[in-house]
Structure 1
Amino acid sequence: MKTKLKKGSVVFIFIMLSNIVLMAQSNLDARTRSFDSDWRFKLDTISTGPEQLNYDVSDWRIVDLPHDWSVEDVSIQKEDSIVGPFFRNSSGTIFDGFTYGGIGWYRKSFDLRSEDVGKKLFIQFDGVYMNSKVWINGHYLGVHPYGYTPFNYELTPYLNTDGTKNVITVRVENTGKNSRWYAGSGIYRHVKLTAVDPLHIDIWGVNITTPEVNESLANVHLTTTITNGYVNAAGFVLHTEILDAKGKVVGKSKSKVNTSTYGKMEIRQEITIKSPLLWSAETPNLYTAKLNIIRKTEEVDNVSIPFGVRKIKIDAQNGLLVNGKSVLLKGGCIHHDNGPLGAISIKQAEERKVRLLKENGFNAIRISHNPPSEILLEVCDRLGMYVVDEAFDAWEKTKFIDDYHLYFKDCWERDLTSMILRDRNHPSVILWSIGNEIRERASERGLEITDMLAKKVKKLDSTRFVTEAVCDFWDARRTYNWEEHTPAIFDLLDIGGYNYMFKKYESDHKKYPNRIMLGTESYPAKSYENWTAVEENPYIIGDFVWTAMDYRGEAGIGVTSFISGKQKKIFVKWPWFNAFCGDLDFIGNKKPQSYYRDVVWDNSPMEMMVQKLSIPEGMKYYVSDWGWPDEQRSWSWPGSEGDTLLVRVYSKVENVKLELNGKVIDAQEIPDSSITAGFQLPYVPGTLVAKGYINGKEVASTTIKTVGKPVAIRLKADKSNVKANGNELFYVAVEIVDEEGNVVPYVNDIEVNYSIKGEGVLAGVGNGNPTDISSFQQLKKKVYQGKGLVILRSNSKKGRMILEASAEELGSDSITIQVQ
C-alpha cells in the first residue's frame, strides 16, 4: 500500500595535487601536532633492503599529506596504455578503475624539539594503502599490510638527541590484484606526531559511554587507560571536565592515584550532566571531555575527546530507537574516495560529501567495506549522520588473489581492535559490521570466525550492536543453501544484514520473529519495495542503497546500454573507470534515481524524467541490476523532433495527467504496487507538465521546459571567502547555460579551459562522465550534461583568488574568492 502523500605541462601536472598543503586536522591537542608537510616522494621500485635508506632524495618530489599517487598523471611514462592517471593494463582493470599502483617511497626529515626531550614520541598513521613498511633513522619499525586501519609506532628509542636530524622513511606497496574497488595508493590519510610524558594517557585510551540517558540527566562513564613510565614515581591526579558546545563546564571528576605502579592502569570515572543536550542525526549536539594528569603540581598530559550523549535501543518489536524516538535508517553505502581528489581524506572534501548526502535525504551511511578515515567520522558527528562502521571485505577465503585474505589470520585482531578503539567515542557510529559478503561465512570455519570477531567486538565495546552484510550470491557454488545455513550466522549477530534480499524479509520473520533485519545493500531500482518493507515492519530498521554516490572502480556496474538479442548482460571495458551506480554522480550532482528516491522518501511529491526510446535494429535495451534507465530531467532533445520519447512520472498520487504545451496528452492511474506512470509521446519542444490527483483533487505538479542553445559559462562557488592558511579547499560548480540562465543538459563535448590568479592553486577538476579518462589535474576538462567541477585550494597569503573559465564560442566567466 502507498503511504500518505506528504507535501512538501607534465611536471606541472605531477605537482598539482601534491602541493595540497594538508588540511587543518581536527582532534589535535597540546601533545599532538600535524606531521603532514614537507615529505619527499618517489614512485619507483627501489630495492626492499636496508640500503634504500641511504639513497639521495634531492630529486624526489616534495609533497604534503594526505597524498594519493594513483590520482596523479603518469602519462610522463609515454606508454600507449596510460592516459592521465589511468593505466589500461592495471592488475585490477575495471575493478580498481584502471589504477596506476606500484611502489612509492616517502621520506621526511625533522628536528627534535627542545620540548620533546625526555618525552615519548609516537608517529600515528590514519591510513596507508597498502603494505607499508616504516623506518626511523634506519631502524625498522614494522609492516602494516591493511590499507584502511590506523596504526602507530613509538620512535623514542631510535631518535637522535645530539642535534642531528631524524629521518622517517615509509615504503608503500600497492601491487597485484588486491581490491574490488579503487583504493588509491600512498599515505592518503593524515599523519600525526604525538609527544607524551612517560606518565600519559594512551593513544585511543579514553572510552566514553552514556549508559543512562534521559531528558533530566545523563550518566557519563569514562574509562581511561594510563601508562606510567616512571619506575619510582609519586602518585598523580586525573582531572576530567565535561564542556558543552559553548565551553561551559557541565560536569567534572577528580581521581587521585597514590600508587606508583609501573606500566598500564585503568581509571574509571562517572560524571552526571543535568538536562543534557542529546545527540542524534537531527540534533547533533556534542560535548567535550577534557582530561588532565597532574603529577605533583605539574600538568604532564592532557587530551580532549569530543563525544555525544545518546541512547540506542534496537529490538524486533520496536525497531531502532534513538533517545526513545523511532528512527528509520535512510541509508547509502559509500566507498572512501573523494571524486577528482582520489582517495585522500581531507576535511572539507569529507564534509562536502556528508553534507550532500544529508541534503538529498540520507540520514545514514554504511562505510564499505573498510574502516573510514577519522575525519569522516568527526564530520558525521558534527553534521549528524548515523554510521555503520565496517571492518573487512574478506576473511580467510579470497575474492582477489592479493587481497586481505593473505593477512587475515595474522592481522585481524590488531586491525579490528584499532578500528574500535579509535572510533568508539564517535556518537555517529551505531553499528559495527565485521564483514561483507564473506565467502566462507556459512562454513564451519566461517561460523568460528564470526563468533570470534563478534566476541572481540563486544569485549572492546559492549554498547553497540554487531552486524554482518550477508548475501546469497555464493550459495549456488557450494553444498549449503540459505535456508539451512544462514540461521547459524544470524544467531551469532545482533542484527542480520541482508544484501539484495528484501524478498526474504517476510518469510524469515515468520521463522525467526525476534531477528532484527537491516537492508545492508539494495538495488537503486528496488528502493520503493525496500523502503515500503522498512516502513511497514519494525523488525527491519533501514535500507542502504548501493550506492549513495559514484566512485572509481567496479567500473560500469551501473551500466545502461544496448546489447544484441542473444546477450544476457554487458561487461564494460576501457575506458570505463566509474561504477556509475550512485544516487549522486562523481562530482555530487543528482542522478535520476535520486529524484526517484525523493518521492520514495516523501521529500518530493512528484518528479518527472524523460528517456529516448530509439533502439537499433537487432538490439535490446539493457539496464544492469545496479543501474538506472538512461533518462534525464530534461525536455531538451535537439535532433529528436518527432521521435518517440518515454516520460516517467514518479509520485504517490492516485492519478497523473500529462500536458504538453497546454494540451492534455494522456492520463493514467498509478497502481498501489508502484509509484510510476509511463507515457510515450513524440518530442515537440515546449513545456511539459505533469499533474497529480488524489480523490480528484490536484495535489502535486512538476514542469520541465525546453531550454535554449548554450551561450555562456556560469561559475558558482560553494563559499565567498576562505582562510589564508594554505589548507582550505573550496568547490566551484561549472555550468553551461542558455540566454535565460538555464543549464543546457545535452552538452557533453564542450571543453572548458581554466586559469587561476592570485592566492590559490588547482586541487582537481572533474565531471560526471563515467568514461572520461582525461586528467583530474590539468586546467581543462569537458563538461557532462552541461556541468563540471573545479576544486581549488587557498594559499597562505591574504588577498584574492580569481578563477576564470572559458570555452570556444561561449566566452568566459570568472569568480573572485576573498582569501582572508
Structure 2
Amino acid sequence: MIMKYTKQLLTVFLLSVTCLLQAQRTETLLEKNWMFTKGDFPEARHTDYNDSQWESVIIPHDWAIYGPFDGSNDLQNVAITQNLETKASIKTGRTGGLPHQGIGWYRTRFDAPADKEVNLLFDGAMSEAHIYVNGKEVCFWPFGYNSFHCNVTSFLNKDGKNNTLAVRLENRPQSSRWYPGAGLYRNVHLIVTEKVHVPVWGTQLSTPHISKEFASVRLRTKIENAGNDEIQMETKIISPDGKVVAQKENKSLINNEQPFEQNFIVNAPQLWSPESPALYKAVSEIYVNGRLVDAYTTRFGIRKIEYVADKGFYLNGNHRKFQGVCNHHDLGPLGSAINVAALRHQLTILKDMGCDAIRTSHNMPAPELVELCDEMGFMMMIEPFDEWDIAKCENGYHRFFNEWAERDMVNMLHNYRNNPCVVMWSIGNEVPTQCNPQGYKVAKFLQDICHREDPTRPVTCGMDQVSCVLSNGFAAMIDIPGFNYRTGRYKEAYNKLPQNLILGSETASTVSSRGVYKFPVEEKKGARYDDHQCSSYDVEACFHSNIPDEDFALADDNHWTLGQFVWTGFDYLGEPSPYDSESWPSHSSMFGIIDLASLPKDRYYLYRSIWNKKAETLHILPHWTWPGREGEVTPVFVYTNYPTAELFINNKSYGKQSKNNSSLKKRYRLMWMNAIYEPGEVKVIAYDETGKAVAEKSIRTAGKPHHLELISNRQTLTANGKDLAYVTVKVVDKDGNLCPLDNRLINFSVKGAGKFRAAANGDATCLDLFHFPKMHAFSGMLTVIVQAGETTGETILNAKASGIKATSIRLQCI
C-alpha cells in the first residue's frame, strides 16, 4: 500500500509539473470558426466588417479543389523549355483545370493573454499572404509553399480578447507549372509564451561524433528578450524508449545574438535509419533568475551521413543507394489541404514498395510530412524552388527571388535542420539560370546560405541542361551534382566533375494509365493515343526521359551513383504529359507509380520487385479480359523478385524465362512476347536460384459484372474529425474477378459517425468532381475516402451502381 500511495503522489507531482511547464508556452491550432470568400474586399481587414454571408470553413482549406474543372482555367500559351519545346502552344490543364486563380479572404477571431508574447505561425498560405490583426497589417509573405511567422503582441486588443485575424491571399494566373492549390491549405498556429522565450524554430541540434560506443550531442538554443538577466537552462535527453540518458544544467549571461550552448554524451546510441527510425528528444527548461519561463522540446535522431567520392552514400557506415521518389504536395482528390492520415497512407504504400527517400518537388513541404518521414523512416531531400531569378512562368517566383530568396531559405533551413530524415538540401529544379554564364554565382549564393545555417548536410540541385552545367562551372560547384534524366551522360559527367558522384535527382518519367494497355508493345517516347491514355506495359516515356530499367542499371553497376528519385511516386494534379498541349480534358499527370486515387499501377510492382528486399513480389500484367483479341499476340510481363518464372495459359506452358543481361528490360523483367490471348486462366510459377518452385500467381478472364467489392485500408478510425479511411471499390464478376473494362457510374452514401470526404478513379481525363458522392470507375476500380467525425460510433459506407449488386462496409470511429 505504501508503494502504491507513493506512486500516486509521484503521478500527481509529475502531472503538476507538466501543467506548470505547459503554462509557460501554449500552442493552439486555429482550425475552426473561419469565414472565407473569394474576391477582393479590402475592408475585410477591419474588426467591424460583417462576414456573416461568407462561407464557414475549417483550416486547412483548399478553395479550388471543389472545381468545377474547366479547360479555360489558367490557359497558358507557352513553350516548356525543360521539355525541349521550342514553339509555344496552348496548355490546357497544365495546372489541373481547377479554379485556383484569384483573390480570397479568410477571417477568424482569437483570444490571447495581453501580458504575453504572441506569435502566429503559418505552415503555408497560397499565396502572396497579407496578414492583418485588428485591422493592421502585421506581415506579408509572398511564397505560398513556405512557413512563416509574425509576432502580433503589439497588435492585440488591450484585454487580449476577441482579436480579429484576417488573411488576404492571391493566386495569379501563370504562376505555376502544376496545381498549386489555393488558400490556407496548411495549419495556422497561435503560440503564446513569456516575454523571455525560445522563438519559433529556435534550436539547432547536431551530433558531431557518432560511434557504437557513444554520440556527442550539441544543442544551441536561441533566447529572445533575455536582456542582462542570468539564464539557466536544464535539458534532459530522452531516449526512444522514454528514458533520461543525459542531462545538463548550465547558467549563462547571453544576448539575443548568442545562442545558449549545451553539449551531451549519449552512450550506446540508437541510430536513426529507414529500417529503424529511432527518435530522441531534448527537453529544455529555461529559467530567468530562478523562475521558469519556458519549456521547449527538440526532437532529433542520431545518424551519420557521408558522401564519399567514387564510392557513394553511406548511412551509419553502411553503403546504400537512394530508392526515392519525387512528390508534389497535393493529395489527389483532397487537393493541397494537408491531412496527416492522407500523408501516412501515401507513405505506407511507398514503404511497402521499398521506397526509402522523398524529394519534395519542387517546394518546401508541410511540416507534418517531415515529421512522418522522421517517424516512419524515409530520408528526405527538401527542395524550395522551381525557378530563381529567370522566369519559367510569367508570374512565377522570379518576381520575388532577389528580395525574398534568402529569407525563404532561412525559414526552410531553420524549420527542418533538426529533422534526422533530412539528408541533403536541394536549392532548385531545372532552373533556367543554370545556363546563364553567371548562373553559378546565384547557385553559390544559395548553397552558401545552406552551409551557413546548416553545415551538417550537403547541397544538390536538379540539373537538366548537362552541356551547360558541365561547361560553365555550375555543376562543378554544387556539393552533390544532381541530374534530372540524361542517363546517357552520367559517365561523362562523372569523369569531368571533381565530386566523382552523380545523384539521380529526378529519374524515369515513365508514363502509364492504370489498367490500360496498348498494342503492339513497343518502347516509345512521347506516344499519344485518341483516348488520351498511356500504356501500362511500362515502356513509354517522355522525349526527355526513359523507362525505369536504365536507372536501375546505373545504380546497380556504379558505386559513384547515389541512387535515384523517381518522377513521381504519386500522380498529381496538372502537367498531364504527354497530353499537355491542346489535349483537354487531360488535367492530371501520368508519371506516378501510384495513381491519383492512391491505387498502384503495374509499375509499382516492378519497383517493389527490386527495392523491397524483404517481401515476395509476383505480379502479372496485363489483365486477361480482351473480348475481340482472341488468337492475337498479347504479351505477358511478370514483375518478381525471383530470378525465373514459367508462364501457363489455360495450363499450356509458354516456357520458363530467367532474368539476364541480354537487354536492360530482360535484366529486370520476365517477358513472354509471343503469348496468345485466349479467355481463361493465366498462371505463373516462380522459381528460386536453385530451381525450386516457390510461388504461384493466377489471373482469370472476368465474366459479366455482378457486384461491387469494398476493401478498406483500415477498419478503425480516430474520432477526431480528421482521420481517413481509403476504401478501394471494385466492379467484379460473380467469382470476384475484377472487371477491368467496366467504367460505370457508382454512387455512395455514408451513415453514422463518419462522412463521405472524396472519391477518385485515377483517370487523368475524368471530370467527375471529387467531393460529389458519385464517380465513374476506371479500369474497374476507384477509391472512396471516408472521414471520421468527432463522435464515436459505427460508420457505414454504401456503394451501388446500376445493373449490379450493391454492397456496404462498416468502420468504427473510436
For the criterion TM > 0.5, the same-fold answer is yes
Q: Is the contact between residue 751 and residue 780 of structure 1 (CA under 8 Å) also seen in structure 2? A: yes
Find the counterpart in structure 2 of residue 806 from structure 1.
800
Q: Does 1:556 align with 2:552?
A: no
Amino acid at match of 2:415: R
Q: 2:179 aligns with which of 152, 177, 182?
A: 182
Rate the CA distance shift 1:463–1:292 in 2: closer, same or farther, 3 A: same
Rate the CA distance shift 1:704–1:269 in 2: closer, same or farther, 3 A: same
Find the counterpart in structure 2 of residue 98 from structure 1.
97
Q: Is the contact between residue 759 and residue 773 of structure 2 (CA under 8 Å) also seen in structure 1? A: yes
Q: Is the contact between residue 129 and residue 140 of structure 2 (CA under 8 Å) also seen in structure 1? A: yes
3-state SS of paired residue (1:452): helix
Q: Is the contact between residue 480 and residue 499 of structure 2 (CA under 8 Å) also seen in structure 1? A: no
Q: Does 1:265 align with 2:278?
A: no
Deviations, residues 35-91 of structure 1 (Å, cap 9, x unaligned): 122110001233x57877754200111111110011014xxxxxxxxxx35453324
Q: 1:396 aligns with which of 383, 389, 397?
A: 389
Rate the CA distance shift 1:667–1:353 in 2: closer, same or farther, 3 A: closer
Find the counterpart in structure 1 of residue 481 from structure 2.
496
Deviations, residues 602-651 of structure 1 (Å, cap 9, x unaligned): 657875654xxxxxxxxxxxxxxxxxxxxx3x112234333432323456
Q: Does 1:88 align with 2:84?
A: no
**Following the alignment from structure 1 to structure 2, what is the Cα–Cα distance between the partners of residues 780 and 323?**
49
Q: Offset at 1:131?
A: 0.9
Find the counterpart in structure 2 of residue 771 from structure 1.
765
3-state SS of paired residue (1:732): strand
**Following the alignment from structure 1 to structure 2, what is the Cα–Cα distance between the partners of residues 291 and 646?**
63
Find the counterpart in structure 2 of residue 17 from structure 1.
none
Q: Does 1:484 align with 2:471?
A: yes
Deviations, residues 582-612 of structure 1 (Å, cap 9, x unaligned): 11111221112222223343657875654xx
3-state SS of paired residue (1:704): strand
Q: Offset at 1:710?
A: 2.1
Q: Does 1:203 align with 2:164?
A: no
**Following the alignment from structure 1 to structure 2, what is the Cα–Cα distance between the partners of residues 228 and 589?**
52
Q: Does 1:292 align with 2:285?
A: yes
Find the counterpart in structure 1 of residue 190 from structure 2.
193
Find the counterpart in structure 1 of residue 417 from structure 2.
424
Find the counterpart in structure 2 of residue 636 from structure 1.
625
Q: Is the contact between residue 716 and residue 732 of structure 1 (CA under 8 Å) also seen in structure 2? A: yes
Q: Is the contact between residue 232 and residue 290 of structure 2 (CA under 8 Å) also seen in structure 1? A: no
Rate the CA distance shift 1:493–1:153 in 2: closer, same or farther, 3 A: same
Find the counterpart in structure 2 of residue 791 from structure 1.
785
Amino acid at match of 1:218: A
Within a 5 Å distance, the mapping from 1:259-658 to structure 2 comes to 261=255, 263-472=256-465, 481=468, 483-485=470-472, 488-512=473-497, 514-523=499-508, 524=510, 525-557=546-578, 571=581, 573-601=583-611, 609-610=620-621, 632=622, 634-650=623-639, 657-658=646-647
Q: Offset at 1:441?
A: 1.1
Aligned residues: 735
Q: 2:63 aligns with which of 53, 60, 69?
A: 69
Amino acid at match of 1:123: L
3-state SS of paired residue (1:168): strand
**Following the alignment from structure 1 to structure 2, what is the Cα–Cα distance between the partners of residues 363 and 452?**
30
Q: Is the contact between residue 104 and residue 168 of structure 2 (CA under 8 Å) also seen in structure 1? A: yes
3-state SS of paired residue (1:72): coil
Gaps in structure 1 of 5+ consecutive residues: 1-26, 74-83, 476-480, 560-569, 611-631
Amino acid at match of 2:145: Y
Q: Which has the higher contact order (CA 8 A, sep 6+)?
A: 1
Amino acid at match of 1:592: D
**Following the alignment from structure 2 to structure 1, what is the Cα–Cα distance between the partners of residues 489 and 697?**
36
**Following the alignment from structure 1 to structure 2, what is the Cα–Cα distance between the partners of residues 667 and 219?**
55
Amino acid at match of 1:185: A
3-state SS of paired residue (1:491): helix
Deviations, residues 410-456 of structure 1 (Å, cap 9, x unaligned): 10000000000001011111010001111121323311101111111
Rate the CA distance shift 1:609–1:155 in 2: closer, same or farther, 3 A: same
Within a 5 Å distance, the mapping from 1:39-50 to structure 2 comes to 39-46=34-41, 48=42
Q: Offset at 1:556?
A: 3.1
Q: 1:761 aligns with which of 741, 755, 762?
A: 755
Rate the CA distance shift 1:293–1:85 in 2: closer, same or farther, 3 A: farther
**Following the alignment from structure 1 to structure 2, what is the Cα–Cα distance between the partners of residues 335 and 724?**
28
3-state SS of paired residue (1:31): strand
Q: Is the contact between residue 31 and residue 301 of structure 1 (CA under 8 Å) also seen in structure 2? A: no
3-state SS of paired residue (1:100): coil
Find the counterpart in structure 1 of residue 516 from structure 2.
none
Within a 5 Å distance, the mapping from 1:160-239 to structure 2 comes to 160-162=157-159, 165-228=162-225, 234-239=229-234
* TM-score, normalised with respect to structure 2: 0.86
Q: Offset at 1:405?
A: 0.7
Q: Is the contact between residue 371 and residue 389 of structure 1 (CA under 8 Å) also seen in structure 2? A: yes
3-state SS of paired residue (2:306): strand
Amino acid at match of 1:807: A
Q: Offset at 1:236?
A: 2.7
Amino acid at match of 2:572: Y
Find the counterpart in structure 2 of residue 14 from structure 1.
none
Rate the CA distance shift 1:663–1:458 in 2: closer, same or farther, 3 A: same
Q: Does 1:148 align with 2:140?
A: no
Q: Offset at 1:300?
A: 1.1
Find the counterpart in structure 2 of residue 138 from structure 1.
135
**Following the alignment from structure 1 to structure 2, what is the Cα–Cα distance between the partners of residues 669 and 741?**
31
Find the counterpart in structure 1 of residue 85 from structure 2.
none
Choose 197-206 or 761-770, whichever is displaced more.
761-770
Find the counterpart in structure 1 of residue 739 from structure 2.
744
Q: Is the contact between residue 608 and residue 647 of structure 1 (CA under 8 Å) also seen in structure 2? A: no
Q: Offset at 1:457?
A: 0.5
**Following the alignment from structure 1 to structure 2, what is the Cα–Cα distance between the partners of residues 510 and 556?**
33
Rate the CA distance shift 1:65–1:428 in 2: closer, same or farther, 3 A: same
Rate the CA distance shift 1:205–1:433 in 2: closer, same or farther, 3 A: same
**Following the alignment from structure 1 to structure 2, what is the Cα–Cα distance between the partners of residues 595 and 753?**
30
Deviations, residues 379-409 of structure 1 (Å, cap 9, x unaligned): 0000000111001110011111010011100
Find the counterpart in structure 2 of residue 123 from structure 1.
120
3-state SS of paired residue (2:166): strand
Q: Offset at 1:819?
A: 1.9
Q: Percent identity?
A: 30
Rate the CA distance shift 1:600–1:528 in 2: closer, same or farther, 3 A: farther
3-state SS of paired residue (1:203): coil
Rate the CA distance shift 1:225–1:249 in 2: closer, same or farther, 3 A: same
Q: Offset at 1:101?
A: 1.8
Q: Is the contact between residue 389 and residue 432 of structure 1 (CA under 8 Å) also seen in structure 2? A: yes
Amino acid at match of 2:397: Y
**Following the alignment from structure 1 to structure 2, what is the Cα–Cα distance between the partners of residues 806 and 703?**
28
Q: Offset at 1:228?
A: 1.7
3-state SS of paired residue (1:70): coil
Amino acid at match of 2:704: K
